[in-house]
Structure 1
Amino acid sequence: MSKTLHRPVSTQGLAFILILSALMAFTSLSVDIYLPAMPMMSASLHGNTELTITGFLIGFCLAQLVWGPISDRYGRRLPLLIGMTLFIVGSIGCALSQTIAEIVFWRVFQAIGACTGPMLARAMIRDLFSRTRAAQMLSTLIVVMAIAPIAGPIIGGQLILFTSWHAIFWLLAIIGIAMWVALRWLPETLAPEQRIHASLCQVFRNYYDLLKQRQFMRFTLALTFYYVSAYTFITASPFVYINYFHVSAQHFGYYFAVNIVGVMGMSILNRRLVHRFALEKLLKFSVTLSASAMVLLAVTTYFSLGGIGLMMGLVFIFFAMNGVIASVTTAAALDSVPRMTGAASALIGSLQYGSGILSSALLAIFNSGTPLTMALMMASFTLTSFVMSFLAKD
């Protein structure tokens, strides 16, 4: 980056926070914005639109494993710029698609670029800040990035009132272009002397070393299983709310946004909590509350109690805890492997977002046309997250 053309933003300034928050939000925006259009897309493309989420998450999961070691060797900015270019091309491909096969292909392509955003935003935070401060900064990013899953379904729902679902992906391409321009001002956070200068083959072997790090893997798996539950709701909710409870596509975004308000509120509170309590204690409390809510959801859904109101309340509790779980597990996991931050962030992101592949596959196999499959899956995997969090040592 030429300093005569671009003045990097301060790593302590608002612009830096906003850019990193936008990068963190790319996954949510890319998935959530077209959720209200999924039933319409199914009718238009004559296929299973859950596969568009599966395809995106496959690309997102696998590509991070490549970008992580590359960023440890060549720095954070170059992979971000290349990734955003791929995201733009993939979004245009989605907008022009006419079949399920075409859009799934371009969703994979889109994800290969999109994954650089949240993965490298986490790595940049760890480059700059210590364990507790990193958890606080990640909570700040989650508050700002939560705008995406609130605004995304609302914008998508309103767009399909006036135009086709194709317009949603044209909008994503425009957002990608704006993000690419903003990245020109983002500073490099990994100094040359901190980069790994071994061969890329050796760098990729870091994944094997990470898999052997028990503490790192316990925090990572606690987050992964929690996100299997989260993606179960994200994938199933359009059909549960719109088809089963007869919520209109235009109002679906508001129902979905209620959960994100909980995420934002707990993320703000977590900025204070991380200074008063150990990260492990915060994790155990939040995942216990989430698991309790999901077990209650499974029981009440099985007996058809409470209807949509009780379901929304219990899911709200589950998602509110994301404001603690995501930042705490990420900060603690990365702190346990300080010399492999890029690869570690990539592995965390790969498992975290790749968990949605399992969610969508299980929903496709066991979907009963009622909320019961969703509720049972959310309860099962949140309980698994609960077990992993208690295996992590204080």
Structure 2
Amino acid sequence: MSSSLKNNRKVTLLILGLLSAIGPFSIDLYLPAFDVIAEDFNTSVDKVQLTLTSYFIGIAFGQMVYGPLLDKYGRKKPLLVGLAIYFVASLMCIFTRDINHLIFLRFLQALGSCGGMVGARAMVTDYYSSREAAKVFSLLMLVIGVSPILAPSIGAFMLTHFDWHYIFLFLAVLSLLIFIATAFLLPESYAGNKDFSLAPKSIINNFWQVISNKVFISYCLIGSIASAGTYAYLAGSSFVMQQYFGLSKEQYGLAFAFVASAMVIATQLNRYFLKKHSSEQISQLANTWQAFIGVLMIVALLTNTLTFPVTLILIFFFLFGHGFIFPNTSAVALTPFKSLAGSASALLGCIQMAIGALASAVVSLLHNETPWPMLGVMCAGAILSLILHLIVKKNVKTSVE
């Protein structure tokens, strides 16, 4: 580890956390505004949900672009370009008057934010072994986890006192502050490789080298499929909590914050468990827990016992499991790569977000005025992830440092 990172470890981790969190924050902040935006644009809530789907697609696509750039030009330059794109897109969201334009601008906004997500993961990989990286990912998740706790409440407050356009003004200002912090306070962790080719054939070969690695693709898919439940929750929670259960925007913000705190608690407990157990062991146990909670959700639906308190508690425990899955599967997946850390991080994020986009789209398409679409996708993702994890355990060997 370089002396500059040691001397500024807390500042560096905070900036990396903010870079990682700006994407999730951009999702969570405007969730309470779905019905308001639908009314303003004279459209339906399921149409507004597509602004979330387009955001996931933008992050999935954009990370594939940033990966090679991070490996060739170093970490900071692509990060700054992405933040600039995000800033401009956020400002444009304020002035749009068409829902289709907003769907596209959210895609553009995502292209800007995903640079931070890829870059932060790559910078962690630059400095740490797999076990240490899992601990650092847990620290980053602390910052990321604060996002869904604060964001809906902030969004609800803005909607109470202003209108939804101020949400995007807030995001523009936030991105500007992160841009300044990244430019002046974040130490460069990798200067880049001038010989790294950006020719399409070379980029494809590098991605193939990553995706054909059994450890990478196995744990990438385990984590990504498990994450599908989280994205289904993000897509459906506004309707389920506000319209189905009748919560006000302020109550929704508080409920969302309570549920999100589960991931913060889990990621910090994860640092303790890593002292005695491997990332593979922890993530498999968390997979089993999440699948069990997913089944309980479906049972509650079938038996008509899905009251609001039951829903809140079950989702809390569901996300508690995810707080252990994400940092551990990410760390194991990225372990085999150092020189291709940017490309590996990009591919990891792309696959995760692509599956997330699919999950949110399915929730939108199956929308039927009930919690079934959201909870059904959450349960399916958890069970599929567990099945894959059990298969991988028998057939794929990992070498954790």
Q: TM class, shorter-chain normalised?
A: over 0.9
CA distance in 1, matches of 2:311, 2:335: 36
Q: 2:31 aligns with which of 35, 40, 60?
A: 35
Quote how far apart the aligned CAs of 1:179 are.
0.6
Conserved 8 A contact 1:10-1:16: no
Q: TM-score, normalised by structure 1?
A: 0.95
Q: Deviation digits for residues 25-66 of structure 1, max 9, x if unmatched?
A: 111100000000111111111231001101111111101101
Provide the residue aligned with 1:372 in structure 2. Answer: 372
Measure, in 1, the Cα distance between the counterparts of 2:391 and 2:83. Answer: 37
Equivalent residue for 1:175? 174
Q: Which letter does structure 2 place at the counterpart of 1:163?
A: F
The reply on whether 1:271 has 2:271 as its aligned counterpart is yes
By how many angstroms is 1:355 displaced?
Answer: 2.0
**1:114 paired to 2:113:** yes
Cα gap change, 1:128/1:200 in structure 2, threshold over 3 Å: closer, same or farther?
farther
Gaps of at least 5 residues in structure 1 are: 1-6
Q: Which residue of 2 aligns with 1:229?
A: 229
Q: Structure 1 residues 148-157 or 380-389, which shifts more?
A: 380-389
Larger mean Cα displacement after TM superposition, 209-218 or 13-22? 209-218
| 1:134 is the counterpart of 2:133 | yes
CA distance in 2, matches of 1:366, 1:33: 24
CA distance in 1: counterparts of 2:62 and 2:268, whole angstroms: 31
Q: Which residue of 2 aligns with 1:51?
A: 50
Q: In 2, distance between residues paired with 1:111 and 1:8?
A: 30
**1:145, distance to aligned residue in structure 2 (A):** 2.2
The corresponding residue for 2:262 is: 262
Q: Distance in 1 between matches of 2:334 and 2:195?
A: 16
Partner of 1:150: 149
TM-score (norm: length of structure 2):
0.93
The whole-number CA distance in structure 2 between the counterparts of 1:282 and 1:87 is: 35
Structure 1: distance between partners of 2:291 and 2:245: 24
Stretch moving more, 28-37 or 316-325: 316-325
Alpha-carbon distance in structure 2 between the residues aligned to 1:83 and 1:332: 27
Answer whether contact 1:216 1:337 (CA < 8 A) is retained: no
Aligned length in residues:
387
The one-letter amino acid paired with 2:324 is V
Partner of 2:304: 304
Q: Is the contact made by 1:138 and 1:327 (CA closer than 8 Å) also made in structure 2? A: yes
1:187-211 CA distances to partner (integer Å, 9 max, x unpaired)?
A: 111144x676234431332122222
| Contact 2:235–2:364 under 8 Å retained in 1 | no
Please report how far the alpha carbon of residue 364 of structure 1 lies from its aligned counterpart in structure 2 after TM superposition: 2.2
- Paired residues of 2:86 and 2:111 also in contact (CA < 8 A): yes
With 194-203 and 348-357 compared, the bigger mean Cα shift is at: 194-203
Q: Is the 8 A contact 2:287 2:325 kept in 1?
A: yes
Give the Cα separation in 1 of the matches to 2:119 and 2:210: 18
Give how far 1:11 is off: 6.4
| Matched residue type, 2:32 | P
Give the letter for the 1:169 counterpart.
Answer: F
Describe the shift of the 1:12–1:279 C-alpha distance in structure 2 as closer, same or farther (beyond 3 A). farther
Task: Supply the distance in 2 between the matched residues of 1:200 and 1:375 (Cα, whole angstroms).
Answer: 43
Contact 1:45 1:98 in 2 (8 A): yes
Q: What residue number does 1:80 align with?
A: 79
Q: Is the 8 A contact 2:75 2:191 kept in 1?
A: no
CA contact (8 A) 1:75 1:195 kept: no
Q: Is the 8 A contact 2:156 2:249 kept in 1?
A: yes
Partner in structure 2 of residue 123 of structure 1:
122
**What CA distance in whole angstroms lies between the structure 2 residues aligned with 1:293 and 1:218?**
23
Tell me the SS of whatever aligns to 2:96: coil
Is 1:321 matched up with 2:321? yes
Write the letter of the residue equivalent to 2:21.
A
- Structure 1 residues 341 and 195: alpha-carbon distance in aligned structure 2, compared to 1, 3 A threshold: farther
Residue identity matched to 1:146: G
Match for residue 342 of structure 1? 342
Structure 2 partner of 1:23: 19
State the distance in 2 between where 1:25 and 1:370 align. Answer: 30
Q: Which residue of 2 aligns with 1:220?
A: 220
For the 8 Å contact 1:286–1:321, the answer to whether it is kept is yes
Q: Which residue of 2 aligns with 1:163?
A: 162
SS in structure 1 at match of 2:304: coil
Q: CA deviation at 1:16?
A: 0.7
Deviates more, 1:250-259 or 1:172-181: 250-259
Q: What secondary structure sits across from 1:115 in the alignment?
A: helix
Cα offsets for 1:346-368 (capped at 9, x unmatched): 01111112222212221222122
1:20 Cα deviation from its structure 2 partner? 0.6
Between 202-211 and 150-159, the greater mean CA deviation after superposition: 202-211
Question: Following TM superposition, by how much is the alpha carbon of 1:12 offset from its aligned partner in structure 2, in angstroms?
Answer: 5.2
**1:167-220 deviations in whole A, cap 9, x for unaligned?**
10011000011011001121111144x676234431332122222222211100
Structure 2 CA distance for aligned equivalents of residues 302 and 238 of structure 1:
22
Partner Cα separation in structure 1 for residue 306 and residue 54 of structure 2:
34
Once residues 217 and 11 of structure 1 are traced to their aligned partners in structure 2, the CA distance between those partners, rounded to angstroms, is 35
> Contact between 2:287 and 2:382, CA under 8 Å: does it hold in 1?
yes
Change in Cα spacing, 1:187 to 1:196, as seen in structure 2 (3 Å) is farther
**Aligned-residue RMSD, C-alpha:** 1.6
